Structure 1
Amino acid sequence: MKNIFLLSIILLSFSCKAQQTYPLSTDYDAVPNYSYFKDTNNELIPFVGTWKAMFDNKEITIKVDKIDHHLVEYVNHKFYQDTLFLRYIIKNSQGTVIKSTMNLPITQSGIKSIGTFPNENLVSFVYQGGDCRYGWGDVDLKLVDATHIKWRYQPEGVILTNKNCPNGADTTIYLPETSNLVFTKQ
């Protein structure tokens, strides 16, 4: 009986596949579901922290957090990935908060990393947009040095109708629509 139990455990261990780990730059189409894209080269670490900049008389503070082993689900693909999430607070020249996502849970911030370009010291993010997905688009952060990053935000066009966006929805784009805005690490 003891031998059958041991044989069962050995067979079970061979039948279970260990989760495969890949570098962040690996194409998710080329790997099995539930693979893990790990920040093996610490490409994300320099971006983590709180950063500030001024733009159009507004103080913009962004907070970048890293979540390891975050589940990502696309239509036909599911995988784990070390991911950056970006939250922000925007204040007018009097210091009044205009818009903030700082109170949201990190993974519900609406801005998350989708790719790294280590040769360019760049991380690309996707922004889901505000109400009615208004302002959705791409955000890139480029590391200038240990205390500075450059911001680029390019919103995509959205056609709003009463059918896809009810009256009263906030269709203001709060994020700075610009390239090369320099943020300083706090």
Structure 2
Amino acid sequence: MKKEIFLYLSILLLSSIGCKAQQYPLNTYYENIPNNAYIKDINNEYNKFVGNWKATINNKEVNLSIIKQDNRPIVILNKSYYSDVLLLRHNVLENNQIVENTLDFTNDKVKAISMGIEIDGSVLFDYEGLKCLVGNGFINLAYIDSNHLKWNYQPQSTVITNKNCSDYPAGGIKINLPYEPADIIFAKQ
């Protein structure tokens, strides 16, 4: 417990130091980011994605909740820096029954975190997947207008069995987020 508190306080201290670090725009190439830099949403490009969004595909209703988190500590390979990010939470209802829900996940447990702005202005998210990492992949959200987003999700193919996933259910694990058809339109709620 003491180690967790120390780690939390260290992150807070480093976050306050990170605020004074040199700032770079969202689309800064990874190789050009120095340690302890701050990748900032200087032009507020993320703001238009923030909110609650909904789409219905066949008999599935998908609800997204997207928030912006400033100055999030990021560690990739041997590089540590801070970045403004979007956090995507969701729930999926099938025949009015919740089959998947991450809406109550805390910011540190969110499974879909933005990686930056693409050349076309869309946002790319790294999605960790849920149970046994099933569904991990990339989500791309394109802004259409103040009331609509276009969704494309590309899950990675992985083989999960009860040998490498201790709590693998007998009926298997399925991906509940929609990945077909492409270009699903979400409406702002």
Indicate the TM-score class for this superposition, using the shorter chain for normalisation. 0.7 to 0.9
1:104-119 equivalences in 2 (<5 Å): 104-117=105-118, 119=119
The aligned counterpart of 2:156 is: 156
Percentage identity across aligned positions? 36
Instruction: Indicate yes or no: 2:185 matched with 1:182.
Output: yes
Q: Which moved more, 1:154-163 or 1:43-52?
A: 154-163
1:159-170 equivalences in 2 (<5 Å): 159-169=159-169
**CA-based RMSD:** 1.8
State the TM-score, normalizing by the size of structure 1: 0.85
| 1-structure distance, mates of 2:120, 2:146 | 14
The aligned counterpart of 1:29 is: 31
The aligned counterpart of 1:123 is: 123
The aligned counterpart of 2:47 is: 45
- Is this contact kept in 2: 1:85–1:113, CA < 8 A? yes
Aligned length: 169
Q: Alpha-carbon deviation of 1:107?
A: 3.3
| 2-structure distance, mates of 1:132, 1:62 | 22
The aligned counterpart of 2:92 is: 90
Q: Alpha-carbon deviation of 1:25?
A: 0.7
Instruction: Indicate yes or no: 2:72 matched with 1:70.
Output: yes
| 2-structure distance, mates of 1:19, 1:91 | 43
| 1-structure distance, mates of 2:177, 2:22 | 37
State the TM-score, normalizing by the size of structure 2: 0.84
Q: Alpha-carbon deviation of 1:28?
A: 2.8
Unaligned runs of 5+ in 2: 1-16
Corresponding letter in the other structure for 1:181: I
| 2-structure distance, mates of 1:164, 1:63 | 31
Corresponding letter in the other structure for 1:185: K
The aligned counterpart of 2:4 is: none
Q: Alpha-carbon deviation of 1:69?
A: 0.4
1:47-62 equivalences in 2 (<5 Å): 47-62=49-64
Q: Alpha-carbon deviation of 1:167?
A: 4.9
Unaligned runs of 5+ in 1: 1-15
Corresponding letter in the other structure for 1:126: D
| 1-structure distance, mates of 2:99, 2:173 | 14
Corresponding letter in the other structure for 1:166: S
Instruction: Indicate yes or no: 2:174 matched with 1:172.
Output: yes
Q: Alpha-carbon deviation of 1:108?
A: 1.4
1:5-24 equivalences in 2 (<5 Å): 18-24=20-26
Deviations 1:73-126 (A, max 9, x none): 112111100000100011123x22111101111331200101212x52300001
| 1-structure distance, mates of 2:173, 2:107 | 23
| 1-structure distance, mates of 2:86, 2:163 | 33
1:41 counterpart SS class: coil
| 1-structure distance, mates of 2:37, 2:67 | 22
| 1-structure distance, mates of 2:33, 2:148 | 35
